[in-house]
Structure 1
Amino acid sequence: MQFPAAFRRSAAAFAAVTGLILAGASTPAFAAQVPVNYVNLGDSFSSGWGALAPTAVLNPGYLSPEYGGPACWQGGPDDVALFDQLQSVALTGDYACAGALVGDPKSTAGVPPGGIPTIAQQAAKASLDGALNSTTGLVTLTAGGNDVNFGQIIGACAADTSAEATGCQAATAYGVALANNVDVAGTVGTIRGFAANAKIAWLGYPRLFATAGESTTVIAGGGVMTAAAAAVFDQGTDQLNAVLAGKARSAGAQFVDVAPKFNGHEIGSSASWFNLGPYTQFNFHPTAAGYSQGYYPAMVSSIKPSQLVKS
C-alpha cells in the first residue's frame, strides 16, 4: 500500500491547491478508467460446463439467450464470471457453447435448430447482437479439442491396457495430426473482422490425468486408464496445446497456457479439480474449483486486463 507516501504533501502545496479552489479556478479533472469490453467464445471448457456438476445432472446447463434454442449449452459460475467481476473488465457477451468446433471459419451463417454454432458462428451472432464490435478490447476462447475428437481419444486410451499404451499412442498421434489442420488463423481472422481492435486470447487445455511420480498422485490415471496410458494422454494434451499455441501466435493472438495451474490437481490426484463419476456429460471437465483456481488466475496473470483499460 502506498497511502502514506501519497498523503505526505507539504503544507505549502496543500494551501496552494486550496487557494485555487476557493478562488474558483478550475482544477485538473482525473480521467475515468473505462473497463475493457469483453466477449467470450469457445467450447465447453469456455462455457463453464463442468462447474455445474454434480448438482445439475438432471438440468445440465441453461439455454443461452443468444440462440433461443437448444444450440448453446453453458454452465457456471466459471472463470468468465469471475473475470467479469474485475473493475477493469465489462463482459458484453458470453457466446461459448459446449460441443463447439472451430470448423470452417468462413461459415458464419445462422445455426440450424438443434445445432451447435462453430466459433465463427458464435462470433457472427455476437456481432449481430452488437456485443462484438470495434469497441471490443478482449476476446477469449478455448477451441480445438472437439476438432481432434478429444472424447474419443480418452475412450481409446481408457481401453488400452498394453504395457506401452500403443493404442493410446496411435489415438493421440492421430489427434495431433488433426490439430495441425485446425484453422486457427482463419478463426482469429474472422473474429478480428468483427472486432478489429480486440486482443484475442486463445486458452489452452489442462492435463486431465495424474501420472506416476507426482507427489500428489493417489492413483495414476485416476482409475480411468493405466498409468502408461495416462502419461501418453497428457503428453498428447501438451502436443495439442503446442500446436494451438504456435498457430495462435502466428495469427497475432495470445495463447494462454493453463496447464501449470492444474499441476497436482488432475484426475487421480489427492485434490482433483475435474469431474469424474455419475456426471455423464460433465466428466473430464473442470469443476468450479478448476475454473476459479486454474483458468481464472491463468487468465489474469497472462492477459493482464488492467493494462487494457482506457482513460
Structure 2
Amino acid sequence: MPHRPLARALTALVALLTAAVGALAVPGVAQAAAPIHYVALGDSYSSGVGAGPYDLSTCLRSQKSYAPLWAAANNVASFRFPACGGAKTADVLDDQLGSLSATTTMVTITIGGNDAGFADVMTDCRFGSTSTCTNAVNAAKAFATGTLPGRLDNTYAAIRERAPNARLIVLGYPRLFETRYCGLLAMSTYKRTILNEAADVLAAVTAERAAAAGATFADTRPTFAGHGVCGAAPWIRDVTGVIEASHPNADGYRYGYLPALNAVTG
C-alpha cells in the first residue's frame, strides 16, 4: 500500500514524457519552427531563361523558374535570387556568393554547363556537319571529366564556407532531346543521341562532385523524360528563340525542375 503514491507518480511521469515525445514527432512541427532562408545560385537553368517574362537585369531572371516557384510554395522566411543567365563557376564565385551568410539554410544551384561550352556545342551541332558536332561533343565530354570536377569542387567548397549552416542542393541538367523522327528540319537522330549522351556524362560528373561535397543531387532527367525537343509535348525550346533555345520553357521549370527539387526537399 505505501508504494501506491510512488507508482502513481511514476505512471504520471511516463505519460508526460510520452506525450512530449509524441508532440515532437508530429510531422511538420520541426519545419514550422525552423524558418527557411533560401538562396538560389547558378546559371540560366536556375535564373529561368526560356520561361519569361524577365526582370530588368541582364541575367534574364524569371519568376516562373523553379526557385521562386519553390520559395512561394514553401512560405520561406527570405529568398534571394542572384542566379544569372550565362554564368560559369567563376561568376558564381565572383558575383553570387555575397547573397550567402551564416543564416542561410538552403542553397540550390545549377552550374557547369557554360564551363563545358554548352552554347557553342549546341550551335555546332544545330548548324554544323555531323563531324563538327561529334568533335564538339567529344571536347565537351573531355572537359566535363577532366577540368570541370575541380571547378565544381571549388564552387561547392566556397558555398559551404559562406553558408556553413545551409543544405546545398545541386540540380542537374535534363537530356534535351527525344530521338524519334520529327521532320526534315530537325537535327539528325545521331546528333541528338550524342548530345543526350553528353548530358549523361555531365550529370554523372555533377552528381559525383556534389556527393563528395556532402550536397544533395537532384537529377532532372527522369522528370523531363519524354518532354525533350521532338517530343509530343516538349518542355525544352528548340530554335524558336536565339537566347532561349535549348532551355526549358515555363512548363519545364514547373513540371520538370520543380518536382525534381520537391523530391529531395520533401
Return the match for 2:147 from 167, 170, 181: 181
Instruction: Quote the Cα distance in structure 1 between the aligned partners of 2:157 and 2:175.
Output: 28
Count of aligned positions: 236
Unaligned runs of 5+ in 1: 1-27, 65-69, 104-117, 127-131, 213-217, 305-311
Q: Which residue of 1 is the match for residue 56 of structure 2?
A: 63
Q: Which residue of 2 is the match for residue 201 of structure 1?
A: 169
Q: 1:169/1:90 Cα in 2 relative to 1: closer, same or farther (>3 Å)?
A: farther
Instruction: Quote the Cα distance in structure 2 between the aligned partners of 1:232 and 1:196.
Output: 39
Secondary structure of the residue aligned to 1:200 is strand
Deviations 1:50-86 (A, max 9, x none): 101xxx5xxxx2234xxxxx4x331231211211123
Q: 1:121/1:224 Cα in 2 relative to 1: closer, same or farther (>3 Å)?
A: farther
Deviation of the 1:89 alpha carbon: 3.5
Deviations 1:188-232 (A, max 9, x none): 1111111101111111101111113xxxxx618x94411111001
Instruction: Quote the Cα distance in structure 1 between the aligned partners of 2:94 and 2:171.
Output: 19
Deviations 1:83-140 (A, max 9, x none): 112336444200000000102xxxxxxxxxxxxxx111233331xxxxx211211100
Deviations 1:261-311 (A, max 9, x none): 01110011110012234422111110110000000000000233xxxxxxx
Secondary structure of the residue aligned to 2:210 is helix
Residues 1:93 and 2:80 aligned together = yes
Return the match for 1:119 from 76, 81, 92: 92
Instruction: Quote the Cα distance in structure 1 between the aligned partners of 2:63 and 2:79.
Output: 17
Residues 1:282 and 2:248 aligned together = no
Instruction: Quote the Cα distance in structure 2 between the aligned partners of 1:223 and 1:190.
Output: 44
Instruction: Quote the Cα distance in structure 2 between the aligned partners of 1:185 and 1:178.
Output: 15
| Alpha-carbon contact 2:106-2:168 (below 8 Å) kept | yes
| Alpha-carbon contact 2:37-2:104 (below 8 Å) kept | yes
Where does 1:1-311 land on structure 2 (aligned, <5 Å)?
32-52=32-52, 61-64=54-57, 70=58, 72-87=59-74, 89-103=76-90, 118-126=91-99, 132-161=100-129, 165-179=130-144, 180-182=146-148, 183-212=151-180, 219=182, 223-304=185-266
Tell me which amino acid in the other structure corresponds to 1:139: V
Instruction: Quote the Cα distance in structure 2 between the aligned partners of 1:248 and 1:76.
Output: 26
Instruction: Quote the Cα distance in structure 2 between the aligned partners of 1:42 and 1:51.
Output: 16
Deviation of the 1:33 alpha carbon: 2.5
Q: 1:86/1:62 Cα in 2 relative to 1: closer, same or farther (>3 Å)?
A: closer
Q: 1:91/1:231 Cα in 2 relative to 1: closer, same or farther (>3 Å)?
A: farther
Instruction: Quote the Cα distance in structure 1 between the aligned partners of 2:189 and 2:103.
Output: 48
Tell me which amino acid in the other structure corresponds to 1:202: V
Deviation of the 1:166 alpha carbon: 4.0
Secondary structure of the residue aligned to 1:202 is strand
Instruction: Quote the Cα distance in structure 2 between the aligned partners of 1:148 and 1:86.
Output: 33
Secondary structure of the residue aligned to 2:37 is strand
Deviation of the 1:240 alpha carbon: 1.0
| Alpha-carbon contact 1:37-1:137 (below 8 Å) kept | yes
Tell me which amino acid in the other structure corresponds to 1:226: S
Q: Percent identity at matched positions?
A: 34
Q: Which residue of 1 is the match for residue 16 of structure 2?
A: none
Instruction: Quote the Cα distance in structure 2 between the aligned partners of 1:166 and 1:90.
Output: 51
Instruction: Quote the Cα distance in structure 2 between the aligned partners of 1:303 and 1:184.
Output: 22
Q: 1:296/1:34 Cα in 2 relative to 1: closer, same or farther (>3 Å)?
A: same
* Structure holding more helix per residue: 2
Unaligned runs of 5+ in 2: 1-22
| Alpha-carbon contact 1:160-1:229 (below 8 Å) kept | no
- TM-score with structure 1 setting the length: 0.70
- TM-score with structure 2 setting the length: 0.81
Instruction: Quote the Cα distance in structure 1 between the aligned partners of 2:210 and 2:155.
Output: 9
Tell me which amino acid in the other structure corresponds to 1:38: Y
| Alpha-carbon contact 1:158-1:226 (below 8 Å) kept | no
Secondary structure of the residue aligned to 1:49 is coil
Secondary structure of the residue aligned to 1:121 is helix
